[in-house]
Structure 1
């Protein structure tokens, strides 16, 4: 029987995307492949227009969609905050086809139904701080399941409510995130008590949730994740990819290292740069990522006189510089960069899953990564793994990858085999079993 599953749009509306955004898109595709109808609830600035056509326009307007921005002010905001104990009613956004969505739908989720209301996600946080419980959404056409893909004190009335907790980094490594730790801990404790079920993406995270948040193990399911790199990008001929990275980036096939991800403390970028420079290898290091929390410190590295020669943010690679940074590249170009790299360097201090590792292995690119968090579950024995706190070990690993063709060939062969353990087919089975068990037991 076809069911309706509703998701939050907190992360998928972010312009530059996150790992959680990829997770949500994957969930939507998986639910649809299982035959379910899907919907997404978005936050917008201001009240939804009364005119259906204008609602559609506002939904796809980059200046209106608001994942989690500044708190709205004024009398209307005050009235909403006071009235929040009684819940809010997101408005359904009809899609007439007037707005051409070919280049935008991935930013909002390729769902069947859309809902929106003013500052929902900020309102949910403020609501929890004021009242200590979840903000209720009153959806006219009741979904069968509300799957909140990120810890957020939001619930849908008269519906099964489940929540994905990707990791407990804010509690285990509090110095690596910007979260208000008291709020985050209290909100998580409330969610695990009131949710119908908790979902996570690794056994490492599952153990943390059970042990730290004191949750019955029967109420926590690990589904892992899957790499959904489109076949047309995976099967693009090597010579075509080589031409792309040469023509666009002035890079040679398998003659550079690559890091991609946000500039944030847990990504361990400072040790990576330090180890790379100490390794004195001939291959340039390409960094794709924009500054996140504490990204200003990473930016200081860019501006530091000692490293100005080495790191540069620009649209094209200039010979002579060893480290180059790009704030953002399109997903197809990122896939080409991954495929053309000698190795992807991802020595993260902690990951709930580590999707870049899986994507790189699926594409047959050697991976250097860490021994911490859930990474060993994902990488298995198909990556070169080091203690991410040991800069010298990282230096030696980079030197080995730069010079040892046999090592790189081995990792290129075993990586795709390891990635098969997290195939879209297996992921579909895991999500299907989760949803069926919950909906059948309702």
Structure 2
């Protein structure tokens, strides 16, 4: 089946609204730009605390006031209008309203975090209400949009359906189930939700063959509707075109660093990222280049950081909690190598971003990482600290290896460019629209595997 002349796709803004960027937020934002390039109509559905009865101009003001902020109260007080709205939503479903973006609010500060969109929609407290409803009833919340899309693409496993649309869900990984000790998720809740999504979805997609295998292992019936579209990495043209002398001056003046003079890790600081072994390996490698760690503290991270203070005190480790995207990409471009020996990844966005920039990568042989890096990275054993240290020493001393990885990286990363991603999305959406209700025809990915 071919796609309509202008496919109408809606995305959720669940991760896009969080205070700090996440890998799933980057996925959703990149997906929106891919859809825009495919000439789709793109709606983005948020769940911020904005009354649907507020005047249009006020809704716009409140949207940008609350975008990226912490929601202070998730449940309306008993018998308040907000509480009544939440109860009605759980009983009868919810209706989204449009947030008119009419240039009344200066939104230039939001350019980096906003997705591509034709319309912004909001359903008050949508995601928290849906989760509460699912916990109580094991039913999905129904939401009506002002104009029903052809496809509602949920970029995260959420217990919600849009009425009248084909509902598809991206499952990036199953870390809470595969490595339960590394997360604080309610494992029973997550297991039930994944299996209920498999039963109720019109289709599923994921971002690597490794994740696809994991999903099928925990939910075997998903094989019939599960597609691997991978994901795309957008080229940071401004940073890549930055003259070397300006990059050098920026690194030196802002961060006290010199190009090729440091290793870099960036991402959340949590057990699955293997930060503890990376710090131990860095200290034991005894290289002159420090390790720069850019990332916010996440869950269960205390044990991971037992040696962090030793590294900070010795100057072997430099810690930065958060950087704007352009500054972070400048650090990636200037690094001797990006070190990312993760225990598991659904895709591994940082390693592909680094390869795009021509920066050498050290990563592990776990999950999707060998799949996405191919022969363009230095691979180590994630659970073997001495092996990680050996990899760091190799990258520190072997200019020939680093030059080879700088050459190989961009070509490997180009396998995940926007053009290829759009082709995969078109195939995925065409298969979704062609599937008759109730049918479970085998997915494109499984047919190709045979």
Q: Which TM-score tier does this pair reach, normalised by the shorter chain?
A: over 0.9
The TM-score, its normalising length taken from structure 1, stands at 0.93
1:441 Cα deviation (Å)?
4.4
1:189 Cα deviation (Å)?
0.6
1:308 Cα deviation (Å)?
4.8
1:201 Cα deviation (Å)?
0.2
The TM-score, its normalising length taken from structure 2, stands at 0.91
Measure, in 2, the Cα distance between the counterparts of 1:299 and 1:98.
46
Residues 68 and 31 of structure 1: CA distance in aligned 2, closer, same or farther (over 3 Å): farther
1:439 Cα deviation (Å)?
2.7
Q: Give matches, 1:352-391, under 5 Å.
A: 352-391=346-385
Q: Judge which range, 8-17 or 291-300, deviates more.
A: 291-300
Measure, in 1, the Cα distance between the counterparts of 2:419 and 2:371.
18
The 3-state SS of whatever aligns with 1:32 is: helix
1:216 Cα deviation (Å)?
4.3
Q: Could you give the per-residue CA deviations for residues 356-396 of structure 1, whole angstroms, max 9, x where no partner exists?
A: 01010111110000000111110111100011100000011
1:133 Cα deviation (Å)?
1.4
What's 2:328 paired with? Answer: 334
1:337 Cα deviation (Å)?
0.5
8 Å CA contact 1:151, 1:165 repeated in 2: yes
Q: Give matches, 1:95-174, under 5 Å.
A: 95-174=101-180
Measure, in 2, the Cα distance between the counterparts of 1:373 and 1:171.
14
8 Å CA contact 1:68, 1:119 repeated in 2: no
Measure, in 2, the Cα distance between the counterparts of 1:342 and 1:66.
35
What's 1:189 paired with? Answer: 195
What's 2:18 paired with? Answer: 14
Q: Does 1:93 align with 2:99?
A: yes
Q: Could you give the per-residue CA deviations for residues 312-355 of structure 1, whole angstroms, max 9, x where no partner exists?
A: xxxxxxxxx22111111111111111111000000000000000
8 Å CA contact 1:69, 1:122 repeated in 2: no
Q: 1:26 aligns with which of 27, 30, 33?
A: 30
Measure, in 1, the Cα distance between the counterparts of 2:181 and 2:30.
30
What's 2:40 paired with? Answer: 36
In structure 2, the gaps of 5 or more residues are: 437-450
Measure, in 1, the Cα distance between the counterparts of 2:429 and 2:19.
29
Q: Give matches, 1:188-227, under 5 Å.
A: 188-227=194-233
1:285 Cα deviation (Å)?
0.8
The 3-state SS of whatever aligns with 1:60 is: helix
1:155 Cα deviation (Å)?
0.8
Q: Could you give the per-residue CA deviations for residues 151-185 of structure 1, whole angstroms, max 9, x where no partner exists?
A: 01111011100000001111111111111011111
The 3-state SS of whatever aligns with 1:309 is: helix
The 3-state SS of whatever aligns with 1:388 is: coil
Residues 358 and 17 of structure 1: CA distance in aligned 2, closer, same or farther (over 3 Å): same
1:299 Cα deviation (Å)?
5.9
In structure 1, the gaps of 5 or more residues are: 311-320
Q: Judge which range, 9-18 or 209-218, deviates more.
A: 209-218
Residues 20 and 92 of structure 1: CA distance in aligned 2, closer, same or farther (over 3 Å): same
What's 1:79 paired with? Answer: 84
**Please, what is the CA RMSD of the aligned residues?**
1.8
Measure, in 2, the Cα distance between the counterparts of 1:57 and 1:299.
41
Q: 1:325 aligns with which of 319, 338, 348?
A: 319
Q: Does 1:421 align with 2:415?
A: yes
8 Å CA contact 1:66, 1:119 repeated in 2: no
Measure, in 2, the Cα distance between the counterparts of 1:135 and 1:40.
17
Residues 380 and 69 of structure 1: CA distance in aligned 2, closer, same or farther (over 3 Å): farther
Between the two proteins, the alignment pairs up a number of residues equal to 429
Residues 390 and 163 of structure 1: CA distance in aligned 2, closer, same or farther (over 3 Å): same
1:65 Cα deviation (Å)?
5.6
What's 2:254 paired with? Answer: 248
